Amino acid sequence: MLIDLGANINAKYNEYPLVQSLYRKSEELLEFILKCGADTSVLYKEEYKELMQDLPKNMKLAIDRHEAFKRRVPILLLLKYKKMGKVQKLPNFILKEVVLFI
């Protein structure tokens, strides 16, 4: 029935739990969804602009902290593993992914 109405079965609609936690103003639910790897870039769409402005400061801080954590660069671990013999042969972008995986 949904496909007849034009639903795209290949599209990912993973923004709804995150947005729902913001509407409910549930900080625990927001933290859980962010820990599960929610994509926060959807929150900056025009349709959620008013919602983002009305959020409590602690929820905005949790979202900002999550975004900063995703952008981190593990430079000390990168340097530590770069000194190891077998790891020196790896390109930097692969080494960075290995360090992020650890």
Residue 52: what pLDDT? 85
Structure-token pair, residue 83 = 């000194």
Mean pLDDT of 16-38: 82
What span, in angstroms and rounded, lies between the C-alpha atoms of 51 and 35? 21
DSSP 23-54: HHT-HHHHHHHHHTT--GGGGGSGGGHHHHHT
**DSSP summary character for residue 71:** T
Mean pLDDT of 15-30: 81
Helix (H) or strand (E) holding 65, with range, is helix 57-70
Residues contacting residue 53 through CB under 8 Å, at least 6 positions apart: none
Digit-coded pLDDT (tens) for 41-100: 888 888 888 888 888 898 888 888 888 777 766 666 666 666 666 666 777 777 677 666
- Greater confidence (79 vs 12) lies with 79
